[in-house]
Structure 1
Amino acid sequence: MDRINCGAVDLGFALGFHVGAESQLMTHGYGGHQMNLCVHRRQHSQMRAWLEDAGFVVEASRTLTSAESKLGGIILARRQGLPIRQVITPL
Protein backbone atom coordinates (compact mmCIF):
# COMPACT_ATOMS: atom_id res chain seq x y z
CA MET A 1 0.00 0.00 0.00
CA ASP A 2 1.17 3.50 -0.80
CA ARG A 3 0.44 6.59 1.20
CA ILE A 4 -0.61 9.54 -0.89
CA ASN A 5 -0.51 12.93 0.74
CA CYS A 6 -3.52 14.88 -0.45
CA GLY A 7 -1.72 18.08 0.47
CA ALA A 8 -3.64 21.14 1.49
CA VAL A 9 -7.16 22.18 0.74
CA ASP A 10 -9.18 25.34 1.31
CA LEU A 11 -11.59 24.53 4.13
CA GLY A 12 -14.47 26.98 4.02
CA PHE A 13 -17.57 27.62 6.05
CA ALA A 14 -20.58 29.89 6.32
CA LEU A 15 -21.10 31.78 9.57
CA GLY A 16 -24.57 33.08 10.39
CA PHE A 17 -25.22 35.75 13.03
CA HIS A 18 -27.62 38.47 14.16
CA VAL A 19 -26.68 41.93 12.85
CA GLY A 20 -26.79 44.92 15.18
CA ALA A 21 -25.04 46.41 18.18
CA GLU A 22 -27.22 45.41 21.13
CA SER A 23 -27.49 42.42 23.45
CA GLN A 24 -30.77 40.95 24.67
CA LEU A 25 -31.66 38.38 27.30
CA MET A 26 -33.89 35.66 25.84
CA THR A 27 -36.07 33.81 28.36
CA HIS A 28 -38.22 31.83 25.91
CA GLY A 29 -36.97 29.99 22.87
CA TYR A 30 -38.60 28.58 19.80
CA GLY A 31 -41.66 26.54 20.71
CA GLY A 32 -42.04 28.36 24.02
CA HIS A 33 -39.21 26.52 25.78
CA GLN A 34 -37.80 28.34 28.79
CA MET A 35 -34.18 29.38 28.58
CA ASN A 36 -31.77 31.96 29.90
CA LEU A 37 -29.55 33.08 27.02
CA CYS A 38 -27.93 36.38 26.12
CA VAL A 39 -28.13 37.04 22.36
CA HIS A 40 -25.48 39.43 21.05
CA ARG A 41 -25.95 41.24 17.75
CA ARG A 42 -22.73 42.08 15.92
CA GLN A 43 -21.69 44.24 12.98
CA HIS A 44 -20.12 42.67 9.89
CA SER A 45 -16.92 44.66 10.50
CA GLN A 46 -16.47 43.15 13.98
CA MET A 47 -17.16 39.59 12.80
CA ARG A 48 -14.76 40.02 9.86
CA ALA A 49 -12.05 41.38 12.16
CA TRP A 50 -12.38 38.45 14.57
CA LEU A 51 -12.20 35.93 11.72
CA GLU A 52 -9.20 37.63 10.11
CA ASP A 53 -7.41 37.84 13.49
CA ALA A 54 -7.95 34.08 13.82
CA GLY A 55 -6.29 33.43 10.45
CA PHE A 56 -9.33 33.13 8.20
CA VAL A 57 -9.80 34.78 4.81
CA VAL A 58 -13.24 36.35 4.39
CA GLU A 59 -14.54 35.70 0.88
CA ALA A 60 -17.98 37.33 1.08
CA SER A 61 -20.49 38.81 3.50
CA ARG A 62 -24.16 39.63 3.13
CA THR A 63 -26.96 41.09 5.22
CA LEU A 64 -30.31 39.32 5.00
CA THR A 65 -33.78 40.53 5.90
CA SER A 66 -37.12 38.79 6.12
CA ALA A 67 -40.63 39.46 7.36
CA GLU A 68 -40.07 36.97 10.20
CA SER A 69 -36.87 38.30 11.74
CA LYS A 70 -34.55 41.26 12.14
CA LEU A 71 -31.33 41.63 10.20
CA GLY A 72 -29.18 38.56 9.78
CA GLY A 73 -25.67 38.26 8.48
CA ILE A 74 -23.77 35.57 6.62
CA ILE A 75 -20.02 35.50 6.14
CA LEU A 76 -18.24 33.01 3.92
CA ALA A 77 -14.68 32.42 5.11
CA ARG A 78 -11.90 29.88 4.70
CA ARG A 79 -8.58 28.93 6.15
CA GLN A 80 -5.94 28.05 3.59
CA GLY A 81 -3.27 25.41 3.75
CA LEU A 82 -4.59 22.94 6.30
CA PRO A 83 -3.60 19.34 5.64
CA ILE A 84 -6.74 17.27 5.30
CA ARG A 85 -5.65 13.63 5.69
CA GLN A 86 -3.47 10.84 4.50
CA VAL A 87 -5.20 8.56 2.00
CA ILE A 88 -4.15 4.94 1.77
CA THR A 89 -4.59 3.37 -1.66
CA PRO A 90 -3.85 -0.19 -2.75
CA LEU A 91 -0.99 -0.78 -5.18
Structure 2
Amino acid sequence: MSADEWLADTRTSYDTGAAGYADVVRDILGGRQPHLNAALDLFAGQVLAAGGGPVADVGCGPGHVTAHLHDQGVDAFGIDLSPGMIEQARSDHPGLRFEVGSMTDLDLPAASVAGLIAWWSLIHIPDDAMPTVLGHFHRVLRPGGPLQAGFHVGDGPSAEADGRGAPDTVDGHRRRPERMAAWLRDAGFTVEAQWEFNMGTDRPGAVLFARR
Protein backbone atom coordinates (compact mmCIF):
# COMPACT_ATOMS: atom_id res chain seq x y z
CA MET A 1 0.00 0.00 0.00
CA SER A 2 1.34 3.43 -0.95
CA ALA A 3 1.78 6.26 1.52
CA ASP A 4 -1.10 8.16 -0.07
CA GLU A 5 -3.35 5.13 0.38
CA TRP A 6 -2.65 4.41 4.04
CA LEU A 7 -2.78 8.09 4.92
CA ALA A 8 -6.16 8.39 3.18
CA ASP A 9 -7.49 5.27 4.93
CA THR A 10 -6.31 6.53 8.32
CA ARG A 11 -7.80 9.98 7.74
CA THR A 12 -11.16 8.53 6.69
CA SER A 13 -11.30 6.15 9.64
CA TYR A 14 -10.70 8.89 12.19
CA ASP A 15 -12.96 11.37 10.43
CA THR A 16 -15.76 8.82 10.66
CA GLY A 17 -15.14 7.96 14.29
CA ALA A 18 -14.13 11.34 15.73
CA ALA A 19 -17.09 11.81 18.07
CA GLY A 20 -17.00 8.23 19.36
CA TYR A 21 -13.26 8.35 19.95
CA ALA A 22 -13.59 11.63 21.85
CA ASP A 23 -16.17 9.98 24.14
CA VAL A 24 -13.75 7.12 24.88
CA VAL A 25 -10.69 9.22 25.73
CA ARG A 26 -12.37 12.27 27.27
CA ASP A 27 -11.91 11.05 30.86
CA ILE A 28 -8.82 8.88 30.39
CA LEU A 29 -6.72 11.54 32.13
CA GLY A 30 -9.34 12.22 34.77
CA GLY A 31 -8.34 9.45 37.16
CA ARG A 32 -8.84 6.19 35.28
CA GLN A 33 -5.11 5.89 34.64
CA PRO A 34 -3.30 8.33 36.94
CA HIS A 35 0.09 7.01 35.82
CA LEU A 36 -0.59 8.56 32.42
CA ASN A 37 -1.14 11.91 34.11
CA ALA A 38 2.22 11.50 35.82
CA ALA A 39 3.97 10.92 32.48
CA LEU A 40 2.39 14.04 31.00
CA ASP A 41 3.17 16.11 34.08
CA LEU A 42 6.82 15.03 33.89
CA PHE A 43 6.94 16.11 30.25
CA ALA A 44 5.33 19.46 31.10
CA GLY A 45 7.85 19.98 33.88
CA GLN A 46 10.74 19.30 31.51
CA VAL A 47 9.46 21.88 29.05
CA LEU A 48 8.87 24.54 31.70
CA ALA A 49 12.21 23.89 33.41
CA ALA A 50 13.95 24.62 30.10
CA GLY A 51 12.19 27.98 29.78
CA GLY A 52 8.97 26.96 28.05
CA GLY A 53 7.90 27.65 24.51
CA PRO A 54 5.48 26.10 22.01
CA VAL A 55 4.88 22.36 22.27
CA ALA A 56 3.48 20.23 19.45
CA ASP A 57 1.02 17.44 20.26
CA VAL A 58 1.38 15.51 17.00
CA GLY A 59 -1.57 13.26 16.25
CA CYS A 60 -3.58 15.10 18.86
CA GLY A 61 -6.94 13.50 18.11
CA PRO A 62 -9.73 15.27 20.03
CA GLY A 63 -7.22 17.37 21.97
CA HIS A 64 -7.38 15.83 25.44
CA VAL A 65 -3.60 15.65 25.82
CA THR A 66 -3.13 19.15 24.39
CA ALA A 67 -5.63 20.49 26.91
CA HIS A 68 -4.00 18.67 29.83
CA LEU A 69 -0.61 20.14 28.95
CA HIS A 70 -2.16 23.58 28.62
CA ASP A 71 -3.65 23.20 32.10
CA GLN A 72 -0.11 22.52 33.35
CA GLY A 73 1.06 25.86 31.98
CA VAL A 74 2.49 24.58 28.69
CA ASP A 75 1.94 26.49 25.43
CA ALA A 76 0.65 23.37 23.67
CA PHE A 77 -1.00 23.13 20.27
CA GLY A 78 -2.35 20.12 18.40
CA ILE A 79 -1.81 18.73 14.91
CA ASP A 80 -3.80 15.86 13.42
CA LEU A 81 -4.21 14.22 10.03
CA SER A 82 -7.99 14.05 10.43
CA PRO A 83 -10.07 17.20 9.82
CA GLY A 84 -12.85 15.53 11.76
CA MET A 85 -10.64 15.14 14.80
CA ILE A 86 -9.48 18.73 14.54
CA GLU A 87 -13.10 19.90 14.39
CA GLN A 88 -13.84 17.80 17.49
CA ALA A 89 -10.79 19.19 19.31
CA ARG A 90 -11.76 22.77 18.56
CA SER A 91 -15.28 22.07 19.80
CA ASP A 92 -14.12 20.39 23.02
CA HIS A 93 -11.32 22.88 23.75
CA PRO A 94 -12.20 26.30 22.35
CA GLY A 95 -9.41 28.81 22.58
CA LEU A 96 -6.64 26.28 22.03
CA ARG A 97 -4.79 25.98 18.74
CA PHE A 98 -5.45 22.95 16.54
CA GLU A 99 -4.55 22.46 12.90
CA VAL A 100 -4.70 19.78 10.23
CA GLY A 101 -1.33 18.32 9.28
CA SER A 102 0.60 15.11 8.69
CA MET A 103 3.56 13.87 10.69
CA THR A 104 4.96 12.43 7.46
CA ASP A 105 5.42 15.99 6.16
CA LEU A 106 5.38 18.10 9.31
CA ASP A 107 4.81 21.71 8.33
CA LEU A 108 6.76 23.39 11.13
CA PRO A 109 10.01 25.38 10.93
CA ALA A 110 13.26 23.84 12.08
CA ALA A 111 13.93 24.08 15.84
CA SER A 112 10.58 25.81 16.34
CA VAL A 113 9.10 23.80 19.23
CA ALA A 114 10.32 23.41 22.80
CA GLY A 115 8.84 19.94 23.12
CA LEU A 116 6.98 17.34 21.09
CA ILE A 117 4.61 14.62 22.18
CA ALA A 118 3.18 11.76 20.12
CA TRP A 119 0.79 9.73 22.24
CA TRP A 120 -0.50 6.61 20.47
CA SER A 121 -0.36 8.53 17.19
CA LEU A 122 2.55 6.57 15.70
CA ILE A 123 0.54 3.34 15.69
CA HIS A 124 -0.62 3.72 12.08
CA ILE A 125 2.81 4.60 10.68
CA PRO A 126 4.33 1.67 8.73
CA ASP A 127 7.85 0.62 9.63
CA ASP A 128 9.35 1.99 6.43
CA ALA A 129 7.91 5.45 7.10
CA MET A 130 9.07 5.70 10.72
CA PRO A 131 12.55 7.14 9.94
CA THR A 132 10.93 9.96 7.93
CA VAL A 133 8.49 10.78 10.71
CA LEU A 134 11.10 10.75 13.45
CA GLY A 135 13.40 12.78 11.23
CA HIS A 136 10.72 15.49 11.09
CA PHE A 137 10.34 15.32 14.87
CA HIS A 138 14.08 15.84 15.30
CA ARG A 139 14.13 18.69 12.78
CA VAL A 140 11.37 20.74 14.43
CA LEU A 141 12.54 20.26 18.04
CA ARG A 142 14.92 22.71 19.61
CA PRO A 143 18.26 21.29 20.79
CA GLY A 144 17.71 19.75 24.21
CA GLY A 145 13.94 19.65 23.77
CA PRO A 146 12.07 16.65 25.22
CA LEU A 147 10.09 14.16 23.19
CA GLN A 148 7.58 11.72 24.62
CA ALA A 149 6.14 8.84 22.59
CA GLY A 150 3.40 6.48 23.75
CA PHE A 151 2.40 3.31 21.88
CA HIS A 152 0.93 -0.19 22.08
CA VAL A 153 3.44 -2.90 22.93
CA GLY A 154 3.65 -6.08 20.88
CA ASP A 155 4.70 -7.48 17.55
CA GLY A 156 3.31 -6.55 14.16
CA PRO A 157 0.06 -5.02 12.97
CA SER A 158 -3.34 -5.72 14.45
CA ALA A 159 -6.78 -4.29 13.81
CA GLU A 160 -7.38 -1.52 16.32
CA ALA A 161 -10.76 -2.08 17.92
CA ASP A 162 -10.44 0.80 20.32
CA GLY A 163 -14.02 1.93 20.61
CA ARG A 164 -13.89 4.85 18.24
CA GLY A 165 -17.51 4.27 17.33
CA ALA A 166 -16.84 3.42 13.68
CA PRO A 167 -15.69 0.35 11.74
CA ASP A 168 -11.89 0.37 11.75
CA THR A 169 -10.32 -0.15 8.35
CA VAL A 170 -6.70 0.52 9.28
CA ASP A 171 -4.09 -1.52 11.08
CA GLY A 172 -2.46 -0.37 14.27
CA HIS A 173 1.16 -1.40 14.71
CA ARG A 174 2.20 -2.83 18.06
CA ARG A 175 5.90 -2.44 18.72
CA ARG A 176 8.54 -3.39 21.24
CA PRO A 177 10.06 -0.52 23.28
CA GLU A 178 13.58 -1.51 22.24
CA ARG A 179 12.63 -1.17 18.57
CA MET A 180 11.09 2.27 19.08
CA ALA A 181 14.15 3.29 21.09
CA ALA A 182 16.45 2.18 18.27
CA TRP A 183 14.49 4.22 15.72
CA LEU A 184 14.69 7.27 17.97
CA ARG A 185 18.45 6.89 18.41
CA ASP A 186 18.88 6.48 14.66
CA ALA A 187 16.98 9.77 14.21
CA GLY A 188 19.41 11.56 16.53
CA PHE A 189 17.56 11.42 19.85
CA THR A 190 18.92 10.42 23.23
CA VAL A 191 16.53 7.97 24.89
CA GLU A 192 16.50 8.73 28.61
CA ALA A 193 13.93 6.28 29.97
CA GLN A 194 11.18 3.86 29.07
CA TRP A 195 8.12 2.95 31.06
CA GLU A 196 5.87 -0.05 30.41
CA PHE A 197 2.44 -0.60 31.87
CA ASN A 198 -0.57 -2.91 31.68
CA MET A 199 1.86 -5.75 31.03
CA GLY A 200 0.18 -9.14 31.21
CA THR A 201 -3.06 -7.71 29.82
CA ASP A 202 -4.41 -7.65 26.27
CA ARG A 203 -3.49 -3.98 25.94
CA PRO A 204 0.08 -3.38 27.12
CA GLY A 205 1.58 0.02 26.49
CA ALA A 206 4.83 1.92 26.78
CA VAL A 207 6.04 5.50 26.96
CA LEU A 208 9.54 6.48 25.86
CA PHE A 209 11.21 9.62 27.18
CA ALA A 210 13.78 11.09 24.80
CA ARG A 211 15.57 14.34 24.11
CA ARG A 212 16.97 16.01 20.99
Query: Same fold by TM-score, threshold 0.5 exceeded?
Result: yes
Of all paired residues, the percent bearing the same amino acid is 34
Instruction: Indicate the residue corresponding to 2:66 in structure 1.
Output: none
Instruction: Indicate the residue corresponding to 2:159 in structure 1.
Output: 25
Q: Whole-Å Cα distance in 1 between the matches of residues 182 and 176 of structure 2? A: 10
Q: Whole-Å Cα distance in 2 between the matches of residues 49 and 64 of structure 1? A: 20
Cα distance, 1:51 vs. partner? 0.1
Cα distance, 1:69 vs. partner? 5.7
Identify the match of residue 46 of structure 1 among 173, 176, 179.
179
Secondary structure at 1:10 match in 2: coil
Superposition misfits of 4+ residues, deviation over 4 angstroms? none
Q: Whole-Å Cα distance in 2 between the matches of residues 29 and 63 of structure 1? A: 19
Bigger Rg over Cα: 1
- Report if aligned partners of 2:193, 2:210 keep a CA contact under 8 Å in 1: yes
TM-score by length of 1: 0.66
Secondary structure at 2:145 match in 1: strand
Q: Whole-Å Cα distance in 1 between the matches of residues 159 and 211 of structure 2? A: 31
Secondary structure at 1:14 match in 2: strand
Identify the match of residue 197 of structure 2 among 35, 54, 64.
64
State the aligned residue count: 71
Cα distance, 1:9 vs. partner? 4.6
- Is the helix fraction higher in 1 or 2? 2
Which amino acid in the other structure matches residue 48 of structure 1? A
Cα distance, 1:35 vs. partner? 2.9
My pick for the range that moved more, 32-41 or 45-54, is: 32-41
Q: Whole-Å Cα distance in 1 between the matches of residues 196 and 162 of structure 2? A: 23
Instruction: Indicate the residue corresponding to 2:170 in structure 1.
Output: 37
Which amino acid in the other structure matches residue 22 of structure 1? G
Identify the match of residue 209 of structure 2 among 48, 52, 76.
76
- Is the strand fraction higher in 1 or 2? 1
Which amino acid in the other structure matches residue 23 of structure 1? P
**What is the Cα-based RMSD across aligned positions, in Å?**
2.3
Identify the match of residue 55 of structure 1 among 171, 175, 188.
188
